[in-house]
Amino acid sequence: MSSAPTRRVILEMSSVQARRLRWPVICSSESYMNRLIRHRTRRKAVWGAKPASALLLLLSVALASNAFAAKHQNATPGVPSSRVKAYQLDDELTRRSNGNPLHTSSVIVTLVPGAPLPPEFKKFARGGKLDIINGQVLELPNGLLKQLAAHPHIFRVHYDRPTGMHNYRTSVTTGGRVLNSYGLKGAGVGIAIIDSGIAYHDDLRGSDTKIFPYGNQRVAKFVDFVNGRTLPYDDNGHGSHVAGTIAGNGSDSKGLKAGIAPAATLVSLKVLDANGQGTISRIIAALDWVAANGKSYNIRVVNMSVGAGVYESYWTDPLTLAAKAVTDKGITVVAAAGNHGKNSAGQLQWGGITAPGNAPWVLTVGASSTMGTDTRADDQMAAFSSSGPTHIDFGAKPDLVAPGTGTVSLAIAGSTLYATKAAYLIDGSTKLGSKPYLSLSGTSMAAPVVSGTVALMLEANPNLTPNLIKAILQYTAQSYPG
């Protein structure tokens, strides 16, 4: 049986090999496989580091891709496409509504425009309104789910499904950042990191107290959606590792372990707890905050090295719709693809892209393996990295892949990862009381490589749109057979 075309794109920044665009190859659904294109072509491409002037020359070519994407993506949020059957309770909540009526579920309700939350359900409300999706989080008995869904004020009811980080395993590799030599360091570009927080680290120093209010750190704003604390912290360590890949300055390694955009401004939105767990309602609340406050911090990029299982189409999922609302404001949302490239038996599997990376308006990043070398000739798709087609919508994902194996970035003493990944802690250039670096692998580590790259592009040309950014990164690929 033939399969659909496969295209892979790898981004390189000096010795940092980057991304592959991978079209659907196979699907577990036999009916879908029978509809796949019979002729297969393959190629591998590499995007080399280029100065700002080269990026600007590509705009006329990218405009066509931008117009095409806009034509096919600009539909009304919350309205199902022709392939999506209308419903009020999603599949998981339908199952729960037929179970024990005394058990409770956390749900996200989306309201009919202009309608308030029904008074009889206000006592179940948890947290504030999610304006970005016209929604509200409730915790209520399963026996009331059908009654809630049937109320005329309710458009849909979604399961507030769990989320987690996308780090997979650990090993050791390093890489350079050549675009900084062209003077591009992400200066003036705000990057929101939706993760487990950002803690103090030498590599994130920032001395301008007017911009960075939390002491000598390059964090312009910290919002805690988990514990409600006001000062930046990271009890898991994942978010700080991501932040270092994006914007670390390499202070503890004499610059050797600097991030992609070491002059970028960081906004930390904590949605994961000390164990790296959360819910989609927290992520939606963080995206809601970005939509409302992005201009104040010049947020142009959102990094989401977090994700959730796909339970419904991206046209109805409140998480993907929240990401669309942010993208529609001109902010590029970069999401990790997920680490479901193999099943429990170690066999390759497809359809493992997590939300919101399954949505076409999100720049979805898988992980590549550098195979421990600086040459890109031997780079491969990391075995753990999720592949498309996406579940339910059969979309072509991920959009790109970036280095995601053995990424060395910031370690936070006292965090969960510092304790559980002790074998992979790495010393800096000078002896410190704790080891400042940690090696991790996963699509969580790949996404910030792309987020940092996008910051450099926006520094070079602040007028770039999310669609143009995606088009430029793909169009500037250097093709190779294989």
- 207-264 pLDDT, tens digit each: 676 778 887 788 999 999 999 999 999 999 999 999 999 999 998 998 888 999 999 9
Instruction: Examine residue 151 and state whether it is found in any structural domain, yes or no.
Output: yes
Mean pLDDT over residues 346-367, rounded?
A: 92
* Position 178 confidence tier, pLDDT thresholds 50, 70, 90: low
Same domain, 105 and 169: no
For the domain that residue 127 is a member of, what is the CATH number? 3.30.70
- Indicate the range of 34-38, 132-136, 317-321, 426-430 predicted with least confidence: 34-38
DSSP per-residue letters across 368-389 = EE-TTSS-STT-EE-TTS--SS
Instruction: Examine residue 60 and state whether it is found in any structural domain, yes or no.
Output: no
271 Rama sector, left if φ>0, alpha if ψ -120 to 50, beta otherwise: alpha
Tell me, what's the pLDDT at 3? 36
Tokens describing residue 248: 């670390």
The residue among 144, 159, 174 that closes a domain is: 159
Q: How far apart are CA 130 and CA 193, in angstroms?
A: 19
Same domain, 361 and 468: yes
- Indicate the range of 170-174, 187-191, 266-270 predicted with least confidence: 170-174
Given 90, 160, 195, 234, which residue is catalytic? 195
The label of the residue with tokens 């950042």 reads: 177
C-alpha angle 194/343/355, rounded to 5°?
25
Domain that holds residue 144: 91-159
More confident residue, 458 or 311: 458
* Position 473 confidence tier, pLDDT thresholds 50, 70, 90: confident
Same domain, 199 and 263: yes
More confident residue, 211 or 145: 145
For the domain that residue 293 is a member of, what is the CATH number? 3.40.50.200
Tell me, what's the pLDDT at 18? 32
Of 294, 317, 291, give the one whose Cα is nearest residue 391.
Answer: 317
DSSP per-residue letters across 216-272 = SSSEEEEEESSS--SS---SSSHHHHHHHHHH---GGGTTTT--S-TT-EEEEEE-S
From the CB of residue 284, how many other CB atoms can be counted at a distance below 10 Å? 28
Given 409, 439, 444, 451, which residue is catalytic? 444
Query: Is the model's pLDDT at 271 over the cut of 60?
Result: yes
The label of the residue with tokens 């602040």 reads: 462
From the CB of residue 411, how many other CB atoms can be counted at a distance below 10 Å? 28
Instruction: Examine residue 81 and state whether it is found in any structural domain, yes or no.
Output: no
Tokens describing residue 364: 């979805």
The label of the residue with tokens 């950014």 reads: 469
In the residue annotation, 241 being an active-site residue is answered as: no
The label of the residue with tokens 């749109």 reads: 465
In the residue annotation, 195 being an active-site residue is answered as: yes
- Give the count of alpha carbons within 13 A of 204, CB side only: 31
- 287-339 pLDDT, tens digit each: 999 999 999 999 999 999 999 999 899 999 999 999 999 999 999 999 999 88
Same domain, 143 and 169: no
The residue among 142, 159, 176 that closes a domain is: 159
Contact 224, 258 (CB under 8 A): no
pLDDT exceeding 70 applies to what percent of the chain?
A: 76
Instruction: Examine residue 197 and state whether it is found in any structural domain, yes or no.
Output: yes
* Position 179 confidence tier, pLDDT thresholds 50, 70, 90: low
The residue among 159, 184, 218 that closes a domain is: 159
Angle between helix axes 466-475 and 59-73 (nearest 10 degrees) is 120
* Dmax (CA) of the chain: 64
* Position 65 confidence tier, pLDDT thresholds 50, 70, 90: very low
Mean pLDDT of the chain: 80
Same domain, 457 and 470: yes
Query: Is the model's pLDDT at 34 over the cut of 70?
Result: no
Q: Strands across the sheet with 135-141, in order?
A: 135-141, 104-111, 154-159
Q: How far apart are CA 260 and CA 271, in angstroms?
A: 24
In the residue annotation, 444 being an active-site residue is answered as: yes
Same domain, 298 and 385: yes
Same domain, 403 and 309: yes
Q: How far apart are CA 187 and CA 164, in angstroms?
A: 30
Tell me, what's the pLDDT at 43? 29
Instruction: Examine residue 335 and state whether it is found in any structural domain, yes or no.
Output: yes
Same domain, 114 and 182: no
Given 158, 166, 238, 391, which residue is catalytic? 238
Give the number of domains in the chain: 2
Instruction: Examine residue 397 and state whether it is found in any structural domain, yes or no.
Output: yes
Same domain, 298 and 235: yes
- Indicate the range of 110-114, 167-171, 303-307 predicted with least confidence: 167-171
Q: How far apart are CA 358 and CA 70, in angstroms?
A: 17
DSSP per-residue letters across 270-322 = E-S-TTSEEEHHHHHHHHHHHHHHGGGGTEEEEEE-EEB---S-TTT-HHHHH
Q: How far apart are CA 457 and CA 473, in angstroms?
A: 10
- 94-111 pLDDT, tens digit each: 999 999 999 999 999 999
- Indicate the range of 15-24, 162-171, 188-197, 335-344 predicted with least confidence: 15-24
Same domain, 130 and 173: no
Helix (H) or strand (E) holding 156: strand 154-159
Q: How far apart are CA 272 and CA 224, in angstroms?
A: 9
Tell me, what's the pLDDT at 199? 96
What's the N-to-C CA distance of the chain in angstroms? Answer: 20
- Indicate the range of 39-43, 67-71, 461-465 predicted with least confidence: 39-43
Mean pLDDT over residues 471-477, rounded?
A: 78
Same domain, 143 and 278: no
Tell me, what's the pLDDT at 7? 35
Query: Is the model's pLDDT at 273 over the cut of 50?
Result: yes
More confident residue, 87 or 130: 130
Instruction: Examine residue 54 and state whether it is found in any structural domain, yes or no.
Output: no
Helix (H) or strand (E) holding 6: strand 6-13
* Position 460 confidence tier, pLDDT thresholds 50, 70, 90: very high
Contact 97, 89 (CB under 8 A): yes
Same domain, 281 and 335: yes
Instruction: Examine residue 44 and state whether it is found in any structural domain, yes or no.
Output: no
More confident residue, 197 or 16: 197
Tell me, what's the pLDDT at 207? 62
Tell me, what's the pLDDT at 297? 97
